[in-house]
Amino acid sequence: MIITIDGPAGVGKGTIAKIISKSLGFKYLDSGAMYRALALFANLNGVSDNDSDRLKKILIDLHIQFIDDKEGERVLLNTDDVTEDIRTNEISTLASKFAANDIVRKILREMQRRMIKDKDFIAEGRDMGTYVFPDAEYKFYLDADLKIRAKRRANQLKEILGINMNEENVAKEISNRDNLDMTRESCPLHPAADAVIIDTSNMTIDEVVLKIKTVIDNA
């Protein structure tokens, strides 16, 4: 069974998806981490987001793996552990730019479908319920006010990277990214017609988890 959770930056999709995947015993697909790893890889190879010919060539050598260890999930780019490297603001912005390239999206979409094949998964991202897994059994779209999302993202940056970021700057970064993610031609971010939309602005993590589980249990 596939459950999709989509939504804009900083809405808490990752946190919620992880909790639900643990409690249901499902695997978890962090599709954003794949766009981030790809952006890091292309950047290290000196390839820009609009150079589709070179991107096609280097992406043949891109292998992204998720592994579970004691500290939680790790992201491997080829053999390198890039779990922390892909969480910087620079990579967030780059990931969004590379994600607008249709070749990049086609390659990652195929990888995502292969990873999930015939397994129980919570797939989290921007286009999971709309373009990658349109037949998913349950679809959720999380949203929240920009200021609240900026606060959540700033807290996350502090937790993961130990960086103190000004919330106004974080708000600018995520609003630019949302704009790009929602207006690109290839698979833009929007709720699927059959998604349950949840405004999490005034909800705790536990309340959002409960809401999602209630929808699933009562279906």
Applying the rule CB under 6 A, the residues between 180 and 209 that interact with ligand DC are: 181
Nearest to 62 by CA among 95, 108, 99: 108
Binding status of residue 36 toward ligand DC by CB under 6 A: yes
Residues 107, 149, 177, 212: which binds ligand DC (CB under 6 A)? 177
Written as one letter, the residue type at 183 is T
- Report the nearest approach of ligand DC to the CB of residue 218 (Å): 27
- Report the nearest approach of ligand DC to the CB of residue 196 (Å): 18
Give me the torsion for CA of 26, 214, 202, 16, rounded to 10°: 0
- Is the four-CA dihedral 99, 181, 10, 46 of positive or negative sign? positive
**CB contact burial 51-78 (16+ within 10 A = b; e otherwise):** eeeebeebbeebebebeeeeeeeebebe
Residues 96, 101, 130, 200: which binds ligand DC (CB under 6 A)? 96
Q: State the DSSP H helix or E strand holding residue 142, giving kind and residue range, or none if neither.
A: strand 138-143
Q: Which stretch binds ligand DC (CB under 6 A): 29-37, 41-49, 135-143, 164-172?
A: 29-37
* Cα–Cα distance for residue pair 33/39, rounded to 1 Å: 10
Measured from the CB atom, the residue of 127 and 212 that comes closer to ligand DC is 127
Residues 16, 99, 107, 154: which binds ligand DC (CB under 6 A)? 99
Contact track, ligand DC, 104-143, x by CB under 6 A:
---------------------xxxx---------------
- Report the nearest approach of ligand DC to the CB of residue 156 (Å): 10
Residues that bind ligand DC (CB under 6 A): 9, 31-32, 35-36, 92, 95-96, 99, 125-128, 177, 181
